[in-house]
């Protein structure tokens, strides 16, 4: 049973640290194998030179994985990051970023996802990540 974006936004509000909530992430789209979140552009998240910081993108990818797993399971359950690998391919300046997390395997205790982060209006990825999660509940 897949969650609605409103239900997934509530998972964000109820289960993430205040600094993650400060990123302003919102759930755009969900199905049983993926979640798409929006990371709104903010000069507060930019590094020297005006491009979006890698730390913000990595946190967004990590968060999108939690939402994708929750959508696939129909509810939030405790889970934790086991591994995340991120490759940055191009800078993002003054654009929202769409973060698409696609589950590649979801087991009872482990979840694996591939994440693509694309500046809104661009056809090319700004960054890609892969994550592995341990499901605790």
pLDDT, tens only, 5-43: 999 999 999 999 999 999 999 999 999 999 999 999 999
Mean pLDDT of 104-131: 97
Helices and strands in the chain, H and E counts:
3, 6
* 108 half-sphere exposure, CB direction, 13 A CA radius: 0
Q: Is the pLDDT of residue 1 over 70?
A: no
CATH of 5-135, one of 3.10.129.10, 3.30.70.1350, 3.30.70.580, 3.40.50.2300: 3.10.129.10
Q: Is the pLDDT of residue 76 over 80?
A: yes
Mean pLDDT of 75-85: 97
Q: Is the pLDDT of residue 137 over 90?
A: no
Helix (H, G, I), strand (E, B) or coil at 4: coil
Q: What is the pLDDT of residue 99?
A: 98
Question: Could you tell me the residue ranges of all domains in the chain?
Answer: 5-135
The pair of three-digit structure tokens given for residue 58, joined into one six-digit string: 């990595």
Report the interhelical angle of 54-73 vs 5-15 (nearest 10°).
Answer: 120
Q: What is the pLDDT of residue 82?
A: 98
Q: Is the pLDDT of residue 2 over 80?
A: no
Q: Is the pLDDT of residue 136 over 90?
A: yes
């Amino acid at each position: 049973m897949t969650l609605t974006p409103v239900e997934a936004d509530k998972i964000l509000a109820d289960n993430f640290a205040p600094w993650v909530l400060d990123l302003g992430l919102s759930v755009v789209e969900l199905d049983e194998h993926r979640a798409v979140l929006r990371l709104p552009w903010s000069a507060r998240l930019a590094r020297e030179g005006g491009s979006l910081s890698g730390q913000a993108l990595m946190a967004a990818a990590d968060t999108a994985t939690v939402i994708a797993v929750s959508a696939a399971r129909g509810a939030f359950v405790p889970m934790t990051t086991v591994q995340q690998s991120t490759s940055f391919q191009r800078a993002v300046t003054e654009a929202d970023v769409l973060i698409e997390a696609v589950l590649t395997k979801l087991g009872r205790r482990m979840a694996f996802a591939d994440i693509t982060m694309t500046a809104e209006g661009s056809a090319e990825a700004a960054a890609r990540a892969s994550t592995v999660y341990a499901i605790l509940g």
